[in-house]
Chain A
Amino acid sequence: MAFLFGRTKQRSAQDIVRSTKDLLLRLPREEGQAAKIEEELARNLSQMKITLQGTPEVEVSPDQVYQLVNHILIESLLPLLVESVYRLPFEARKDTQTIISNVFRFRNPGSTSPEPDALKEVLRRQPELIIALCNGYERRESASPCGGILKEALKWDAVAAVILYDEPSADGKTIDIYNEVDVTKKSSGEGIFWKFFGWIDKSSFEVSADAFDCFRLILTKHKALVSQYISTNFDLFFERYNAILIKSESYVTKRQSIKLLGEVLLDRQFYEVMTRYVDSGDNLKLIMWQLKDDRRMVQYEAFHVFKIFAANPNKSHDVQKFLIMNKQRLLKFLPKFLEDRTDDEQFNDEKAWLVKAIGNLPDTTSALQPPATSGSAQQNGAPMQPNSAQVRS
């Protein structure tokens, strides 16, 4: 009896996966039947969800989970699911998210690899799936389920690596991060990672906020990986970060991206990125303009980036020049800056410190030495960057 029982379960796992696959393929083709197909799909997906995660009352059976995950992978159901998620009815989209997240979480008992087994399998054989999930941000219907799956999967470095090192290719194949990553090679700026800037900037609030959340996770959860990546692609990264995010028309994007910048720069792991960032006079200018934004929280977040420029003991020529040129203005501006934040002790301490530090700067730029590394009088900060970077590396 137990033997028979096992067989029926196994067959039903295979059946349900195959029937789901079939329905998903038919969904875009047979519009007349759409309602009926959607209904059947919803039923299948709901059943798969319950098999994988149980209900508040019912525990899952590890054997059934294994069977189902196995068949989903064998039949390559996931890419099809991700691709069609926006076509599915409301609850089915959430079920899809649950199913894929559960598959990604699946581990064989006793497995030792860092990533869960099923996820690793996907990363090896179908890394395109991760890219497809990112592309979920193209549509409002798919943004939330795909974003949800991604954000959970971004626990793993390997997933972040796939996103960072993705490059468009003729055959539509995605890079095999386990074998062919060259971290010193500059990104073309065409890969999936760079699309996040656009999604954050252009989408509706819901999608934009979700995409930003994901972007933040990529940057902050994989510091070693990301600091290497930003160092390699420094100019491209900050060019876009400044132009698209910090200068964004959207209040939320602007405020959040300045805040994220402050967090990243102050992280020990991003030390090299930070030193290069605060060497740039252009970056300082942009941040000083944000101090004068008419929205207080933008000012506040900008302050936390501005203080890094001022606190840097080895200020570049440009940064010193801009600070000295605006010394009197800053000394007039800072004491009144967000002065109603009386209960924010740290802020007030830092502000007081900044006023002191800026007060200690020379009054004119006349004594300012031109950058020592180049020997010639450079007025512009931009050419200096590669130099200082070379010196350090």
Chain B
Amino acid sequence: MADEYQVLEELGSGSFGVVYKALEKATGEYVAIKHIDLEGSDDDIREIQQEISLLSTCASDHVTRYKNSFIKGVKLWIVMEFLGGGSCLDLLRPGPMSETYIAIILRELLQGLDYLHSTGKIHRDIKAANILLSESGQVKIADFGVAAQLTNIKSQRLTFVGTPFWMAPEVIQEAGYDFHADIWSLGITAMELALGEPPRSDVHPMKVLFIIPKEKPPRLEGSKWTKEFKDFVALCLNKDGDKRPSARALLKHPFIRRAGKTEMLKELVLKAKRFEDTFEHQERDRRYYEETLREMGRPQVEDDEWIFDTIKPQASMRLPLPGDFTMKRRRLERIPSGEGMDVDETMTAMEDMSLDAGPLNEMVNSPSRSMSTIRTPKPRQNSLRRESAINARNVSISSPTARRVSRNLSGNVPTSRRTSAQQPPPPQQQQQRQPLGLDMSFGNGTSTVRQFKRASSGNKLHSPSQLSPQDSVFDSDEENRSPVHTNSKPEEPITKEGSMGRRCFAKCIDPAFQEAYADTGDQTKRNALAKFSEAWSTLDSVDPEGELILLKAIMDRIQADPKLASALLPQRVAAAQLASLRCSSKKTSSVTQSELGTYNKTPHSSPKKSRRTTTDLQSTPCSPSKPSPGKLVMNPQNPHLRRMKSNQQLLAEREKSILEEKMPGRVEAGKEHVGMLADVLYGRWTEGLRTRWPLA
């Protein structure tokens, strides 16, 4: 069967296979052939087969046409029609598109979706990268890697699949969804085409999973777009799936009805081609298909066959026959060349990411760019090859399926977007690609902390406990740089406890009172609050040490009472619970325990306190959850990462901690990848402490 095709250059590749352009000898037509290396994965071949059976039961001008599939050696060849126009994502490369084009693309897309939905299929991964164009401007839906075929048209699906930014809330919540999930993704895709990126693309993809179900749906805003377009997007992005119109109904929307002819899209294709030729020509690294040589066998096996008396192995038992091996291809990912990035598990991937994302790291491989498709139930083993990723730029002309790559929950970035981040771009572009603003701010301390305080002030009950001396840790980081406190020291040579107490008041108590005061409407309550504030202020000026001890006593009692602790220190409780769930849990949680123990004693041994704290800190300088009790509250290490281990765990966790205090939860989520960074910063901070408070 393979002889019927003349395989030409590579169009793109992913962990799942390589796509080649090929000539169908019989017809002289170009086709796209995806080579899937079946040896590459433990997964059941059934999954791949399912994709084929789904594709093969589609016959629509709006869906990439499947032609054939067969096995060659250990590879499955899937032959599909060749689409020379690239994907909509490629078309976005020169910049966002104008509404005229978007309307045409959306109309064609809706026709494709209407076809799929009427035949009981849900695509589940609609996004610009999965919409391909022919050179003549035809628009086709591609990549059925995570699509579902419903046996009963009325049934629902639960599986958590898709690409985070494009996923509908009901898919994320695993609440049961149907065709309407595709309509949401269509709405996001519409915004992607208009803006160049999906909404919230600056947010970490894992965090976006929290945001989508929780926050208001995104909207297209501004005078740049017509009312119809904005209305169309708003209709698609209804959080209640049942209220979203069907694809058929959307085809009647004024925005779609006034759309022009597909031929107009040719201009767009040409524009993207020109852009690519101008700016990316030198990066082109065209690779051609070559029949690969047989892999060198394992020598110890060849000369050492089994002995079963006189029975000789038959040819079919695969004695090494010359010529039997031509089908075998050298598998790049098995060669430890150092350039392959082998991401075995989600966790590893996430940790990698945290390194990449850190401001201290030069890598620009931003997790927020992650556009990879999530595919549960089993995360597929993902072996990315960097050179192929670079090459993926040429995917432009690719057939769809090449693009679906990482199926890990991790934010691996297989799509061409990542590619662009990986190529050696001009330096300033690198700068632009710097990922998460939030992380940066953590390094600088202030903004995040403020944010946190503001959040806690939303709930009066929280403020006394959360704005406890423990919070000083954060400010201590600030203290490393801030002249304020160093200045105050010589003026008032009081004890460390005293300065801590002062600090508490200035940093926590006083602002908390002020916010609470501002939040209180009732005059009597305001008066009472004012009196209390005044009294505390007196205490602060008279006896800051006593103030600190008082605060500690309050904190200790809150911590001692599980109910109060869970109400007032929910992050802390959650963190402890999580810590016990981690693989390396024992160490971490025991640290937390001992730390608590130390803390309990401190009020009674205040003269020695400072030393104890310092030694404590020194003894575990790199334990991330250890820094100080306060650290836990805002711990950037707070294991959101681990939450992703299982989505269920994630949901439970979310209920436990995040819902209660919105802002801290969000802040932490944004910082989840700075684990390593936090260690470094923490180390620096303790050093600063030590120089300032030398051991007595």
Contact = CB atoms under 8 A, between A and B. Distances in A.
A, B in one complex:
yes
B344 A343 contact: yes
A326 B307 contact: yes
B153 A255 contact: no
B317 A209 contact: no
> B interface, by DSSP: helix, strand, loop or mixed?
loop
Contacts of A300: 42
Given A251-B73, A343-B344, A56 B119 contact: no
A322 B56 contact: no
Interface stretch (B45-53, B86-94, B411-419): B45-53
Contacts of B344: 343
B151 A329 contact: no
Contact of A55 (B69, B118, B314): B118
B153 A256 contact: no
Contacts of A252: 38, 45, 71, 76
A29 interface: no
A209 B45 CA distance: 9
27 contacts: A54-B153, A56-B117, A56-B118, A144-B56, A144-B57, A204-B70, A205-B70, A206-B52, A206-B56, A210-B49, A247-B314, A251-B71, A252-B71, A255-B38, A255-B45, A285-B306, A285-B311, A288-B308, A289-B306, A294-B325, A294-B328, A295-B328, A296-B39, A322-B306, A325-B307, A336-B300, A343-B345
A53 interface: yes
A322 B325 CA distance: 29
Contacts of B318: 289, 292-294
A11 interface: no
A324 to B, nearest CB: 11
B305 interface: yes
Contacts of A239: none
Contacts of A98: 120
Among B49, B297, B325, the one with the most A-chain Cβ atoms within 10 Å of its Cβ is B49
Contacts of A353: none
Interface residues of A, number: 46
A90 B58 CA distance: 9
> Chain B interface residue count: which class?
35 or more
B152 interface: yes
Q: 8 closest Cβ contacts across the A-B interface?
A: A289-B317, A209-B49, A90-B59, A205-B70, A247-B316, A293-B318, A285-B308, A53-B153
A213 B46 contact: yes
Interface in A302-321: none
Interface in B144-180: 151-154, 178-179
A333 B302 CA distance: 11
A41 B119 CA distance: 18
Contacts of B317: 247, 286, 289
B313 A289 contact: yes
Among A56, A57, A94, A249, the one with the most B-chain Cβ atoms within 10 Å of its Cβ is A56
B154 A54 contact: yes
A297 interface: yes
Interface in B57-75: 57, 59, 69-71, 73-74
Given A56-B246, A294-B297, A340-B334, 10 more contacts: A57-B246, A94-B57, A94-B119, A204-B70, A205-B76, A206-B53, A209-B45, A285-B306, A325-B307, A325-B308
Nearest to B316: A247
Nearest to B308: A285
A75 interface: no
Contact of B53 (A204, A210, A247): A210
A293 B328 CA distance: 12
A57 B117 CA distance: 11
B320 interface: yes
A9 B153 CA distance: 23
Contacts of A53: 152-154
Nearest to B46: A213
B304 interface: yes
B298 interface: yes
Interface in B14-66: 38-39, 42, 45-46, 49, 52-53, 56-57, 59
